[in-house]
Amino acid sequence: MGSATVLAYWVAKCLIESFLCKAKEYGGASVLTYEGDKWFGTSLDYMPASFFKKFGFKEADRDESRVLLFLDLDAGKKPRLIHPKARTCSDNDGMVIDALCNSQCPWSSWMVDQIKRNAKRYPRTSVNVVNSDDRKVVEEFGLSRGVYVNKKPAIKRMASWKEIRSAIEKSRKKSA
């Protein structure tokens, strides 16, 4: 393991321990993790479940690669995922991309910028930026970060343009 990896692990460990001290007040802690997803299309794991399991977190719910982990500190009740929901789409013959972002994740604005810049390549495509800071928005979409293409959940996490482009192409082939 390189020194940068050791340092990153140490920093993450310190953050988790601080988080867990505060979580005691609430009876537990939960974290949305992933299994098999990569950070913006790189070889790095995206919020790996295995890291959090080292601190005693257990699986509470799952939706494909999304894994909700929970550390019960006397809460008595496990949390559940809010699952993505397909939305109704009008027949305007155009493509609609909904990009969900929030203030908790600075990378989500980077993803939105990538979508806005690159979606111009596709005629009759509109991009809606959806701020998911409001819990009602998360309940409506079933995601706090991710991408919908033509009102269907395409990517349930942060994504690179390469991944988003692939989801767009897949949607275009289905509608052709």
pLDDT in tens, 73-91: 988 888 999 888 887 766 5
Q: What is the pLDDT of residue 175?
A: 76
pLDDT of residue 45: 80
The whole-angstrom separation of Cα 116 and Cα 21 is 40
CA nearest to 48, candidates 59, 39, 35, 60: 35
Q: Give which of 116, 95, 112 is closest to 158, Cα–Cα.
A: 112
The residue extents of the domains of the chain are 3-72, 95-175
Decide if pLDDT at 111 tops 80: yes
Can you give the pLDDT at residue 42? 72
pLDDT reported for residue 89: 63
Q: What is the pLDDT of residues 31-72, one digit of tens each?
A: 999 888 777 667 778 788 998 999 999 999 998 888 999 999
Q: What pLDDT score does 173 carry?
A: 85
Res. 93: pLDDT tops 90: no
Measure the CA–CA gap between 163 and 176, rounded to whole angstroms.
20
122-159 tens-digit pLDDT: 988 999 999 999 999 999 999 888 999 999 999 998 88
The pLDDT of residue 94 is above 80: yes
* Better pLDDT: 5 or 52: 52
The reported pLDDT for the residue numbered 166 is 94
The listed CATH number (3.40.30.10, 3.30.70.2190, 2.160.20.10, 3.40.50.10490) that belongs to domain 95-175: 3.40.30.10
Residue length of the chain: 176
Contacts of 153 (CB under 8 A, 6+ apart): 84, 85, 86, 141, 142, 143, 146, 147
